[in-house]
Amino acid sequence: MSFASRWAAGAAVALVAAGALAAAAPAGAAPAHSAQTAQTASAVHAVSGQHRFFPGPGGRGHRLPTTTGSTSGAQSSYNWAGYAKTGTFSSASATWTVPTTLSTKSGYASTWVGLDGYADSYLTQTGIEEDVVNGRVTYGAWWEVITPTNVAPEVAFSGFTIKPGDSITGTATRNGSTTTLTLKDNTTGKTASHTASFAGPGASAEWIQEDVDVNGYISTAPDWQKVTFTGVKTNGVSAGLTSSQSIDIVDTQGTRETSTSAPNSTKDGFTVTWLATGTRTRAD
């Protein structure tokens, strides 16, 4: 199923999610998924899972042995690679280039920036999708809000077209009881933004390359080759990344799918390199 058809297939789910998130919002707050949004941009993924963090073999905090080009003691996850930092944050941002994804390996992948999700069961995020189905590569852009009681699926930025080689800047900004999720294509100058009537505690910030949860299963990884994050910031300043905050994807068979580099010299950038497609895994 292509990226576009998966959006169309999820329309009913998005409408249900809109009502669920509205019910969970404070009195007087508008629903994070407005009726108009749900009609014009539907969900990629099924009701459970989406972009939540799934600790890998050994559980949360388990450290991996060093491999060539990877950080020393990266954490393992079944679906996230990149960096996650804990603290108290009002914003997270980064810039990356849309990868040239090869058509030889099927799967669904995402590149994104977000707040919460690693440290708790909330998650506000925005990013791009790189999918390969039956040898066809498709790309798209989206935002998503997850709460402990509502794992609402991601929602497309309608009309926001991206292509390999485009420079993308993603920003998640928490302001009181709202969160603004913004993508800018620095190559075309186009910007897409959504303000959700919800804000998590801001207990973590993430910059992630992901195997996407589709219909309750963590996908295999298409070959997106490598993604470099630059200008990684929290609260408007350099994130000050450390190697201990790095994460690599390891599937249930023990296959290491990614190699996440140490931070650059200014502690505000890193590269995630694709190693293997891995095994489709139940998102439990």
pLDDT tens figures, 191-216:
999 999 999 999 999 999 999 998 88
Average pLDDT of span 93-108:
96
CA–CA dist 98, 128 (Å, integer): 8
Provide mean pLDDT across the span 251-269: 94
93 Cβ contact partners less than 8 Å away, ≥ 6 residues apart: 113, 169, 170, 171, 172, 231, 232, 233
Please give the average per-residue pLDDT across 48-70, as a whole number: 55
Rounded mean pLDDT of 19-41?
29
* Residue 153: band (very low, low, confident or very high) from pLDDT cuts 50, 70, 90: confident
Q: Domain locations in the chain?
A: 3-282
Burial class (CB within 10 angstroms; exposed 0-12, middle 13-18, buried 19+) of 31:
buried
Of the candidate ranges 31-45, 172-186, 235-249, the one whose mean pLDDT is the lowest: 31-45
The pLDDT of residue 110 is above 80: yes
Query: Which whole number is the average pLDDT over 65-76?
Result: 58
Q: In the prediction, which pLDDT does 33 show? A: 24
CATH number for domain 3-282, candidates 3.40.1440.10, 2.60.120.700, 2.102.10.10, 2.60.120.260: 2.60.120.700
